Amino acid sequence: MCQKEKKSKKIFEEFPAISTQEWEEKIKIDLKGADYEKKLIWKTTEGINVKPYYRKENLESLKYMETFPGDFPYVRGNKKNSNSWKVRQNIKVNDISEANKKALDILMKGVDSLGFYLNTDKKPTLEEIENLLENIYADSVELNYYCGNHSLEIIKIIDQLTKKYNRDLEKIHGSVDFDPLGQLTLKGKFPFSEEDSFNKCAANFKAANHLPNFKTISVNGQIFRTSGASVVEELAFSLSMGNEYLSKLTDKGLSINDIAPRMKFNFAVGSSYFMEIAKVRAARLLWANIVNAYGPVKAEITKMYIHSTTSNWNKSLYDPYVNLLRTTTESMSSIIGGVDSMLVNSFNSVYEEPTEFSERIARNQQLLLKEESHFDKIVDPAAGSYYLENLTNSIAEEAWKIFLEIDELGGYVNALRKGFIQNKIKETSQKRDIAIASGKEGILGTNQFPNTGEHIEKDLDISIFEESDQSEKDAEFETLKPYRGAQAFERLRYKTDQYSKKNKRPLVFLFTYGNLAMRRARAMFSTNFFGCAGFDIIDNQGFKSVDKGIKAAMKKNADIVVICSSDDEYEKIASEIYEKLKGKAITVVAGYPKSIIENLKEKGIKNFIHVKSNILEDLQRFQAELNI
């Protein structure tokens, strides 16, 4: 073959194409009769069956594949030339002067979006907001206000200040966090009457008439996720909430062309990396089609503005620096999905006021991804991925099914009053709670691989371990109550820490014996198991006789003795160890030796820990036996 022919030949051309059928046949051979569905199909919390692999042919049915970034239905993003986003940091405004000083400081450190938490008990004045924004150029930074039910006053003040300082109104970007449907969901009643709440929304739109890029309605979808909802449910309920605003406000005579561009969606992003990327893309796809059904004058009206916040649901009190790992991957998911702005919560925000250090780390996580990893340069990097494109489509389809169910019930408010939304989330959250309790859904440092040397000595506000109930006394229905998945384990472990301030910390002694591989594996499992409760653990190299192990356990004054060996050796030693420890320590067998389990139980052994254990319930039982 001549050199020219070699150059024109495509790479791998000499290899024949392999069909999907051939792949499947090869997989079945390798499975050796094992169930394909159980072994290789991932059945997600969202109700999606994820295949072990995807191919080009799986893209053929996806209608949006021929679209470009910046084109309807915007699944590939709102922007054509970059993937840039606003870096948000929030400030709690207790003192106007101090808040202004902090804002100016962090604006010099890479932030280009500010969120001000104002005192919601009183109306803000023009003077206060003017002082808050002193030396801040509103046309070069996004300004967002969390102001309770005073959104109309804020909008009017912003309008006055922009005119006073002759700002370019097209360059004023920001929002007020007014979401009466969100308040209804968490509190059980509207902030005003139902009619007045939507009238207030309409008044907000009209007041911001001269501010085309200022968002006056927030759709706080993160409340669903932090209450235990799945990715699909968060998306479906958020879209339904957004559609309720469109429906109610167009009925009041407002134009879809004015309403849709002034709405902002706030999503929580969790640790399911690819699922979160796909969620953001699917959200734009579905919202564009929903808005399009109202007949906007141009496609741009159908764009969805997305603000992303790292979710608190999967964050932990113990081993809190792991939260940094979580927020890093969550940030990446948001950015690759193509959000418009993002807030990374500080790693310690679940248990204390963020410090200067933790805020700096949170801020720099975004800046590193932008300035050093250049995530802002490539538009829709997920495009063309067989897996992500199919995941986007699957999430969109499943979310749309739930959206239509809500629509059949009469819309978001009616579905909420009928308990449909609450029941859906409760069903999902209970499944997730069980998965966490059994270790199937891992929270590193909490129910998996705990830092056994970490103890909390100080007294904490007990609300850290409880769900957030914001219900009004006269709530119309059961409300959503945000919580964290780690709370039950944290409550358990903190209980041990509090007990140990006045008493000896419970001691677990690992009675390692016999087969080296099995005793090490079961010792490691037992260390992680009891470490979740904050117990002290003594591991051992292995004992040559039962008596030597018993003597060592008694010398250490062990409260719990865990026998770590092989199933065969349990038949010989377990009952002997139990008899010699009876009344002196709680005996536990690591594993579940099926062939002799009933025999061991008949002899009095009742404690077995294994991979199918409900870790949380077992540890609660051990605490009760130890009178903690």
Reported confidence tier of residue 14, pLDDT bands at 50, 70, 90:
confident
The partner residues of 543 in beta bridges, in order of sequence, read 513
Domain annotation covers residue 487: yes
Reported confidence tier of residue 11, pLDDT bands at 50, 70, 90:
confident
Do residue 481 and residue 555 come from a single domain?
A: no
Reported confidence tier of residue 319, pLDDT bands at 50, 70, 90:
very high
Reported confidence tier of residue 530, pLDDT bands at 50, 70, 90:
very high
Q: What residues have CB less than 8 Å from 351, skipping those under 6 apart?
A: 317, 320, 460, 464
The partner residues of 444 in beta bridges, in order of sequence, read 448
Reported confidence tier of residue 9, pLDDT bands at 50, 70, 90:
low
**For range 73-97, the mean pLDDT:** 96
Do residue 436 and residue 467 come from a single domain?
A: yes
Please say if the pLDDT value at position 8 is more than 80.
no
Do residue 512 and residue 610 come from a single domain?
A: yes
Do residue 554 and residue 442 come from a single domain?
A: no
Domain annotation covers residue 143: no
Do residue 591 and residue 617 come from a single domain?
A: yes
Other Cβ atoms closer than 10 A to 300:
14
Q: What residues have CB less than 8 Å from 476, skipping those under 6 apart?
A: 188, 189, 417
Other Cβ atoms closer than 10 A to 609:
21
pLDDT tens sequence across 255-296: 999 999 999 999 999 999 999 999 999 999 999 999 999 999
Strands (E), 80-153: 86-92, 113-117, 142-146
pLDDT for position 45: 87
Domain annotation covers residue 81: no
Instruction: Give me the amino acid identity at 194.
Output: E
Distance CA 355, CA 360 (A): 8
Q: Which of 468, 496, 524 is the last residue of a domain?
A: 496
Do residue 491 and residue 552 come from a single domain?
A: no
Do residue 514 and residue 621 come from a single domain?
A: yes
Do residue 505 and residue 491 come from a single domain?
A: no
Domain annotation covers residue 488: yes
Q: Which of 473, 496, 519 is the last residue of a domain?
A: 496
Reported confidence tier of residue 6, pLDDT bands at 50, 70, 90:
low
Do residue 470 and residue 550 come from a single domain?
A: no
Domain annotation covers residue 148: no
pTM of this prediction?
Answer: 0.94
Domain annotation covers residue 155: no
Q: Which of 57, 72, 98 is the last residue of a domain?
A: 57
The mean pLDDT of the chain is: 95
Instruction: Note whether 540 and 551 are within 8 A (CB).
Output: no
Domain annotation covers residue 508: yes
Distance CA 405, CA 574 (A): 56
Do residue 611 and residue 531 come from a single domain?
A: yes
Instruction: Give me the amino acid identity at 450.
Output: P
Percentage of the chain modeled with pLDDT above 70:
98
Instruction: Note whether 161 and 130 are within 8 A (CB).
Output: yes
Domain CATH number, residue 517: 3.40.50.280
Domain count, the chain: 3
Do residue 521 and residue 589 come from a single domain?
A: yes
Do residue 555 and residue 523 come from a single domain?
A: yes
Among residues 594, 558, 595, 600, which one has the least CA distance to residue 579?
600
Domain annotation covers residue 18: yes
pLDDT for position 7: 57
Give the CA-trace dihedral at 377, 383, 389, 391, to 10 degrees: -20
Could you list the residue range(s) of the whole structural domain that residue 426 is in?
413-452+460-496
Instruction: Note whether 399 and 146 are within 8 A (CB).
Output: no
480 burial (CB, 10 Å; 0-12 / 13-18 / 19+) is buried
Among residues 51, 52, 71, which one has the least CA distance to residue 63?
71
DSSP assignment string, 343-399: E---TTTTTSPPPHHHHHHHHHHHHIIIIIS-TTTSS-TTTT-HHHHHHHHHHHHHH
Other Cβ atoms closer than 10 A to 158:
25
Instruction: Give me the amino acid identity at 222.
Output: Q
pLDDT for position 3: 55
